[in-house]
Chain A
Amino acid sequence: MTDPELLEWLKKDPNRGMNQLIRQYAGLVFGIVRGIMAGICDSSEIEDCVTDVFLKFQNGLSSFRPEASLKTYLGILARNSALNAIRNRPEVLSLEDEDLWLQIPAEGDFTEEIAEKNLLDSVFAEIEKLGHPDADILLRKYYLGQSSRCIAKALNLTVSNVDTRAHRAIRKLREKFEGENT
């Protein structure tokens, strides 16, 4: 079912629409939530989090603006909900390794907000240039918090291949941004 059809159902018949939404996107939400919470939380907590994602969507439906697809919107919601759920266990999400530091320009004629937006646009443009599977690896690893093992399975790669590609991709990005800043 397409997004416009689903949104129409959600408007006209919320329960039916939600049930269809859940049927359509439970797999996506589970995949994202499990990727982040697996090994940290038990299956009951994962289910609770998945349910929470749909409840949040339901509660915020009136303010939903279709600037992106439902898939993306729910994916972001799932990712954020799962990270919130394990917020008290930061040691598990040790994403702050040295490879992840980027030197970015902080001063300039722009306001911070514009600079932030430009930075994001630039980062995404660079990620896009990396192509498949490196772009996927970066976003899965550093946005969705998926483990290398999980990514390897999804992309049909070896774990060491995932780690190597992630390392090289981050290095490329760092060189790009640090280079621009010097």
Chain B
Amino acid sequence: MKKTFKSILDNATPPQLEPFFDELDTEAVSEKTVAAIQARVTGSSEAKAKKPGLLKWILPAASAVCVVILAGVLIGSPLFSGQPASVPAASTMDRPSATAADKTVQTNAEPTADTSVFTPESSAENMTADTPTETLPGPESGIVLTITEDSNDRFSAVSGPITDNVHADGSEGDRPLYDGIRFFEDGEATYMIYAEYRPLYLLEGTKRVGSSHGSSHSSTELLFFANGTNDGWTYAGGAFHCVGGYEKGLFRVNLQSGEIEKVIDCSETVSSAVVAQGKIFYASRSGFGDQALYSLKRADPEKEKIECLLSDADYPISDLKMIGETLYFRSFPQGIFFITPDLSLHLISSPSVNSYCVRDGIIYTYSVTSDKAWTKREKTIRAFSENGELLASRSFEEFSESGVMQNVRYYSGGSRDSLTVYQGKIVSFDESGFYLEDLFNGSREKILDCVFTGTREDGYVQGGFYLSVSKTIFNGKLYLQYGDTIVEYDSGTVRVIEPE
């Protein structure tokens, strides 16, 4: 029998390879590249808040709370009306840039006069109030966003309309997730979708009516986007399937057939997408590391048209959420941007936001900062009004003692999960249970023992749930999911949902 040297080495065990790897050199990698990978893997990074690099043409200075109304009116093409875009200089470029155009654009660059700062009372436990923030000047010069038409070649195989009933309550669009729980409504039925790595499952009530296996089926359709290593999905109405492997782009796929029914855009890596008003808003990335550039696009499946809303940003555009008619997105480390129906672009500047959510007109952000030695970490939750006013802010510190972190508190279960607000209070958790924290008075109330830890019937000791717990709010109830366990919390009433 003959074997190749390579095939022999293929079967080498780690201990056999250990001496070799011990001597292996490493390549120099830039801070920015490390931060980019950290952000993609953990949803956070150690990168310190920098002066605006993203949309640097938008903000000449920003490090504290300010709201900038940038473009009162975007050129010709209303973002949400679906009217044809007024396309400047028909672009043959794949990626038009956001350059100043000589169109008539009103720039309202008035910063808010001040940010009223909430002064919390003496906090329970160890939460501390932020110090008042300074008011920074707005941009010295305006910005013109040019909505440009993208190549239509990226559409193919149209197979019916995409419905647009992404339910804002609980879904809020999507993060690039391969795990977690979401709810969607399409007017006829309510679907709970949850996934544990893969596959994902679709529930109607407690009954599984679909899965990414394709073995069962449903009449519901998801829109998938893939960034090459990770999949995400958002509801689009129809039947669905998972796109994986090294595919990149935005696809609509059929769960029953496993076929990609429609390629919407496979030109770039897509990290986040949300469907609203019959259109797909999505964030994409081209290039890598120092050369990476990010775009925000809008695709009209009916007209098979893609438009660039923002392009050539040099920091990520991620976590798109459509709340009502306002499109939100996160841009690390600047903060949260949102575009209102009158087409003005706003920034809630909050340093190094790891996660955010919007509830009842309040924008909540969650930030984490750490010292270089990783012995201390500060977690901060802030609440802002839509005009940028800081309503409340609380921080607390985790610290290392004998190499073990103390006072650990979690607000999101990793990159698949978001900051969650239930009945006006922040949901937090630790290894012993779940809590509601009042950002305004500092109170903290335990609502649930941890249902995800303990010893299973087969003797397996479950732990580490905080790695991947997922939370969402739907119809006024709080849902928690970890693996196959789903818990519904409704004002003190707890129900464990067991999928049939």
Contact = CB atoms under 8 A, between A and B. Distances in A.
A49 B464 CA distance: 26
A150 to B, nearest CB: 11
A95 interface: yes
Contacts, number: 192
A92 interface: no
B21 A71 contact: yes
B386 to A, nearest CB: 29
- Of the listed residues B33, B288, B370, the one surrounded by the most CB atoms of chain A closer than 10 A to its CB is B288
Contact of B291 (A43, A58, A136): A43
Interface string A62-98: 1000011101110110000000010000000001100
In this complex, the interface size class of chain A, counting residues with CB under 8 Å from chain B, is: 35 or more
Contact of A19 (B2, B12, B38): B38
A34 B289 CA distance: 14
B21 A51 contact: no
A39 B157 CA distance: 33
Interface in B1-30: 1-6, 8-9, 11-29
A30 B29 contact: yes
A138 B20 CA distance: 10
A100 B6 contact: yes
Interface stretch (B39-47, B105-113, B316-324, B443-451): B39-47
B374 A26 contact: no
Interface stretch (B142-150, B215-223, B402-410): B402-410
Which of A15, A104, A143: most chain B Cβ within 10 A? A15
A55 B22 contact: no
B198 to A, nearest CB: 10
B37 interface: yes
Interface residues of B, number: 65
Interface in B371-402: 374, 377, 398
B497 interface: no
Interface in B23-80: 23-29, 33-34, 36-38, 40-46
Interface in B454-491: 464, 466-467
A163 interface: no
A26 B34 contact: yes
- Among the interface residues B11, B228, B291, which one has the most CB atoms of the partner chain A within 10 A? B228
A138 B17 CA distance: 12
Contacts of B14: 67-68, 72-73, 76
Contacts of B248: 48
A72 B42 contact: no
A175 interface: no
B352 interface: no
A95 B4 contact: yes
Given A11-B464, A27-B26, A48-B228, 16 more contacts: A14-B42, A22-B34, A23-B34, A26-B37, A27-B28, A30-B29, A45-B228, A45-B246, A69-B22, A72-B21, A76-B14, A96-B6, A103-B2, A128-B19, A143-B20, A170-B5
6 contacts: A16-B370, A48-B229, A58-B41, A69-B22, A71-B22, A116-B11
Nearest 4 CB-CB pairings of A with B: A68-B14, A106-B1, A27-B26, A48-B228
